Amino acid sequence: MAGRAATSSAKWAREFFFRRVSSNPLGATRNCSSVPGASSAPKVPHFSKKGRILTGATIGLAIAGGAYVSTADEATFCGWLFNATKVVNPFFALLDAEFAHKLAVSAAARGWVPREKRPDPAILGLEVWGRKFSNPIGLAAGFDKNAEATEGLLGMGFGFVEVGSVTPVPQEGNPKPRIFRLSQDGAIINRCGFNSEGIVVVAKRLGAQHGKRMLAETSGTSSSSGEEVKPGGKSGPGILGVNLGKNKTSEDAAADYVQGVHNLSQYADYLVINVSSPNTAGLRMLQGRKQLKDLVKKVQAARDEMQWGDEGPPPLLVKIAPDLSRGELEDIAAVALALHLDGLIISNTTVSRPDPVTNNPVAKEAGGLSGKPLFTLSTNMLKEMYTLTRGKIPLIGCGGVSSGEDAYKKIRAGATLVQLYTGFAYGGPALIPQIKEELVSCLERDGFKSIHEAIGADHR
């Protein structure tokens, strides 16, 4: 085992150094309105002095890893790689927030991130919408907006990854700067405004990934029929969600979402209608009872009129804001139940500024707040929605998750699945196995034998 791991590490190191030397470090940052046909991997932005320090640290880790792996088995080395990212991750805090984001996506797209080789504990596995999830921890939309790095992100051990929001026509979003860190509060404020490369580019990338998986299956490199079916979806191991948005200048929101369904649903394990971003004028008005009902009906009809195989159409979810009143929540729950919506994501970012961020000068920036200060607000709303829907609709808990205990609280409040984003931005890849390990401990501590047993436990 150690010999195979050493060989694998040496091969990885050679490929890593070759890529670093052969790539062009002086390439300009890609504009958000790239033309269709662009490369699936983002161009690496120009490296500043801080960027060169980050590169040097990464190379140092590669060298150290090559030396260490010769004495370790694959699982041990895998754990070492994830822990090693704790050394690199602080360097990202020295960079501009959006630049650091682009760099992280670029690294994941090129495979310069650790890959989880250890199987998830059986206690974390669950089935939702007929899809098998190896674990309930997912990456929320907003990180990989243009489906550039899905393989690398799923490979890090997320149970599912949600890309987007994707708009029909490419748009640059709001003016920069538009991402602001509140590091001491574990929070971020963003007002990106659905910056997207558009449906055509994203469809091409997802189509290529889908084709790659189909080729692997037909060539016999995937699991044989005699083996147990592994959790996974259309993009390969792990489940892929596609989050749909509308263009800023669009006068027909429903037409935008329908276009997204027609072009992207064949590659998605589930679809999300995003009507809750605070950074697109008028978008949150679509959460009103009549508006939401009309919108969901049109999107469901567009999905159902397409040709589907034995698996059927992808589930359709709606992502809602955390700033809704009790009456508004009741309206959304009524629509969800009446139209048999497949799920709700609770929640998006907040326009409020909960304690302790109120005294932070950065809190005055316009935009949606995410991270630790959002946890209580979003979790309380999750509890309310679980009660209003009587536990009949799968809920995805999102907002302020940065530990296994946080994820566990979301599940007990009514979440079937859990997403994080800001916690991942601050904690890096090492946070993923840490959250899963802590979640297992929480379940075992309270006597639960599965995730399903813990869902909504606070209501019983």
Cβ–Cβ under 8 Å, residues 149 and 407: no
How far apart are the C-alpha atoms of 62 and 170, rounded to whole Å? 37
Within 8 A by CB and 6+ apart from 115, the residues are: 78, 81, 152, 155, 156
Contact 286, 292 (CB under 8 A): yes
Beta bridge partners of 169: none
Question: How many angstroms separate the CA atoms of 48 and 60, rounded?
Answer: 18
Question: For 321, which DSSP code?
Answer: -
CA–CA distance, 256 with 369 (Å, rounded to integer): 26
Catalytic residue status for 277: yes
Residues in CB range of 389: below 8 A, 6 or more apart: 333, 336, 337, 344, 395
Give the burial class of 172: count Cβ atoms within 10 A of its Cβ; 0-12 exposed, 13-18 middle, 19 or more buried: middle
* 207: amino acid identity, one letter: G
CA 55 to chain centre: 25
In whole angstroms, give the CA distance from residue 334 to residue 287: 12
- Which entry of 134, 277, 370, 403 is annotated as an active-site residue? 277
DSSP secondary structure of 362-398? GGGS-SEEEEGGGHHHHHHHHHHHHHHTTT-S-EEEE
Catalytic residue IDs: 277
